[in-house]
Amino acid sequence: MTQFALESAQEGWCAELRALAAERFAPLAVKGEPGRVNRPLLTALGETGLLDRLFTAGALELCLLRESLAYACTEAETALALQGLGAHPVARSGTAEQRDRWLPEVRAGRAVAAFALSEPGAGSDAAALELAAEPTAGGWRLTGEKRWISNAPEADFYTVFARTEQAPGARGVSAFLVPADRPGLTGEGLEMLSPHPIGSLAFDGVPVGPEDLLGEPGRGFRVAMDTLNLFRPSVGAFAVGMARAALDATLRHTADRRAFGGVLADLQAVAHRVAEMATRTEAARLLVYAAAGAHDRGAADVPRRAAMAKLLATETAQYVVDHAVQLHGARALQRGHLLEHLYREVRAPRIYEGASEVQRTIIAKELYR
């Protein structure tokens, strides 16, 4: 595959994924309770082998997977992505015991994973985190709070980033695997614009030991960035999937909707707007694939490319979905309409895993490096 076109086998796989998402996952998503983990959906993702693909796929395959699921069932895409985000540090940096204990359960959809990085005072500036890991005779005790954590407080384990050393910025941060039943760990849900749970976690002297470390002490931020550099392009793929769904819905609507003596597509203002939506979507798609390809090649400029892909794709998806709503009119705002759903879903990716402003900062730093 080049950076500009998919092979026929890849196109076929994407079509199969879209059909699977529409036929099997979407009915389960409809039955889910908003703001709660949809465990039947996770089980189905495990039974179809898609959760297993999270740990064998390269960045490009992950992007194709997320884009295809997002096109037909955003809930399935998000459930899958959150499993990968929470468990990827275990797969890449965990001990054999940690991997043997948790990864088979994640792959099967029986264990829910979560990535606990953000804090009340450390959102976009992740290096400012303050969760303290206070030394004890046999390890550390975690004291502090995490907030805006997807899958909290319902996850079965958390990848937690805490400060083990008093050092500036990212230095002195360590990563831990913390089971949800660890003493002193509590959580509560937050009322958010989200179909999945997002909550806060309180750490009241939660005990962790060397066996809970993910990677080396003081090198936890590297674990976090390794995960985010993989998943940022695929957040862009999620956005592209939503943009393509909105675009296709708009093409159907404007080709059929009669107005002013013809159909909407006959109006130049409408046709030009749809052309702009399509062009931006294609540009975002190609940038996402290029960033994923760079990651799979081990290129040195992955941070810049990943940031560019997430930035352009998420901003593009917001533009496309917004204009799709405008061209559909009031019907698009009716509860249950595809675009009403996408309008709610498309906003958050411009914030999580690094807001658009953070992506611009990363890009500028890499350019001037």
140-170 tens-digit pLDDT? 999 999 999 999 999 999 999 999 987 766 7
Phi/psi of residue 192, nearest 5 degrees: -130, 160
Is residue 131 located within the same domain as residue 263?
no
| pLDDT at residue 162, as a whole number | 94
| pLDDT at residue 169, as a whole number | 67
152 in Cβ contact with 114 (< 8 Å): yes
DSSP string covering 60-125 = HHHHHHHHHHHHH-HHHHHHHHHHHHHHHHHHHH--HHHHHHHHHHHHHT-S-EEEE--BTTBSS-
* Residues 339-365: tens digit of each pLDDT: 999 999 999 999 988 899 999 999 999
- For the segment 102-116, the average pLDDT, to the nearest whole number, is 97
| pLDDT at residue 152, as a whole number | 96
Q: Is 70 exceeded by the pLDDT of residue 126?
A: no
Is residue 84 located within the same domain as residue 208?
no
Check if 276 is active-site. Answer: no
Rounded to the nearest 10 degrees, how much is the dihedral formed by the CA atoms of 254, 256, 262, 264?
-10
Percent of the chain with pLDDT over 70: 98
Between strands 157-163 and 198-208, the pairing is: unpaired
Q: Which helix (H) or strand (E) holds 19?
A: helix 8-20
Is residue 363 located within the same domain as residue 273?
yes
178 in Cβ contact with 206 (< 8 Å): yes
Q: Is 80 exceeded by the pLDDT of residue 319?
A: yes
* Residues 289-315: tens digit of each pLDDT: 999 999 999 999 999 999 999 999 999
277 in Cβ contact with 204 (< 8 Å): no
Is residue 305 located within the same domain as residue 230?
yes
What pTM did the predictor assign? 0.92
- For the segment 210-239, the average pLDDT, to the nearest whole number, is 91
In a domain, 137, yes or no: yes
Q: List, in sequence order, every residue forming a beta bridge with 149; answer none if it has no partner.
A: 199
In a domain, 3, yes or no: no
Q: Of these residues, 134, 276, 353, 366, which one is catalytic?
A: 353
Is residue 255 located within the same domain as residue 293?
yes
Is residue 91 located within the same domain as residue 60?
yes
Tokens standing for residue 216: 């080396």
Domains identified in the chain, total number: 3
> Which of 41, 76, 108 marks a domain boundary?
108
The boundaries of the domain holding residue 73 are 8-108
* CATH classification at residue 130: 2.40.110.10
Vertex 82 angle, CA 155 and 206, to 5°: 35
Q: Where are the beta strands (DSSP E) in the chain?
A: 113-116, 132-135, 140-150, 157-163, 173-179, 185-189, 198-208, 213-214, 258-259, 262-263
Is residue 227 located within the same domain as residue 120?
no
Q: Is 70 exceeded by the pLDDT of residue 3?
A: no
Q: How confident is the model at residue 234 (pLDDT cuts 50, 70, 90)?
A: very high
* CATH classification at residue 346: 1.20.140.10
Tokens standing for residue 337: 């309409």
Query: What's the N-to-C CA distance of the chain in angstroms?
Result: 30
> Which of 81, 108, 135 marks a domain boundary?
108
Rounded to the nearest 10 degrees, how much is the dihedral formed by the CA atoms of 114, 87, 297, 291?
-20
Tokens standing for residue 312: 């352009």
In a domain, 2, yes or no: no
* CATH classification at residue 17: 1.10.540.10
Is residue 24 located within the same domain as residue 89?
yes
Is residue 226 located within the same domain as residue 355?
yes
Is residue 97 located within the same domain as residue 136?
no
> Which of 76, 108, 140 marks a domain boundary?
108
Is residue 142 located within the same domain as residue 273?
no
Q: Is 50 exceeded by the pLDDT of residue 1?
A: no
In a domain, 126, yes or no: yes
| pLDDT at residue 2, as a whole number | 46
Is residue 349 located within the same domain as residue 314?
yes
